[in-house]
Amino acid sequence: MPDRRQRDHLGALIGGAALALVPVPRPLRYRLRLRFPAAAPRADALADRAILVILVAAVACAVLAAGPHRWLPAGVDRFWLVGAGLGFALGIPFALDRRALRRRLRDLPPLEIPAPPLAVAGDPHAPAAAALAAGDPAEAALLLAPAVAADPPDVDALRLAALAAVAIGDWRVARACALRAVKVDPGRWQVLVEIGTALCRGGRFSDGVRMLEQAVQSSRGSPSAQFALAQGLATAGRLREAVAILDRVERRR
């Protein structure tokens, strides 16, 4: 009976093949990549090798279409083979382009889940931070409610409340708290990076990328905010945009 390591390896191979070969919408594909991280690199490796398969299929269609009639499979005519060969051939530039984009982003580190805040002695929000770090985001949100509801609200409380909402899975509240924090203090754009990162990691790609774009705008083009945006775009499968942002960051260094 295979041990756990062998089962994990087999599962990663099967998952990688499914991700590479089964046609699904891009958002779903990249949510599955987040859900099954071990399968993602195997899917990319299979996609890279698929270029050779596409080329062989295009050549085979061309040879069969141009060859004697006896070479034709039963029920298949030359026009079908010509169309299939053209379809395969037209897919080669797209496959090469995607491979180049993946290789350009290969060294881009993945988005990391925001670390739980530290409870600092003397900080009025230390009990909420401790509850959040202990895995009780509901208690943290309850403790933060008065500071969040104040006018003006406490920016640190809004940040913690956003992180608590992320832990609970209440993406709407997380987004609202982060945006409100930056509205009160535009210099705290890092909150947008944290919550945008968390949204992307949770598969909420549209909201997460928009938040990261707003972090870039609020930070006036900070390289770290742009780098986070590139990571978010790559996580969402928007590889060309991610490469463009990464190139821009590297040119500024």
| Cα–Cα distance, 141 to 168 (Å, whole number) | 10
Tell me what the mean pLDDT of segment 223-245 comes to: 95
> Could you read off the pLDDT of 94-130 as tens digits, one per residue?
888 988 999 999 888 888 888 778 777 778 899 999 9
Calculate ∠ Cα 19-109-170, nearest 5°: 75
CATH code: domain 126-252 is 1.25.40.10
Contact 241, 32 (CB under 8 A): no
Contact 183, 214 (CB under 8 A): no
> Could you read off the pLDDT of 139-185 as tens digits, one per residue?
999 999 999 999 889 999 999 999 999 999 999 999 999 999 999 99
Q: What burial class does residue 129 get, using C-beta atoms within 10 Å of its C-beta: 0-12 exposed, 13-18 middle, 19+ buried? A: buried
Say what the pLDDT of residue 1 is.
Answer: 47
Say what the pLDDT of residue 175 is.
Answer: 94
> Could you read off the pLDDT of 59-82 as tens digits, one per residue?
888 887 787 776 667 767 777 778
Q: What is the mean pLDDT of the chain?
A: 86
Q: Which amino acid is at 187?
A: G
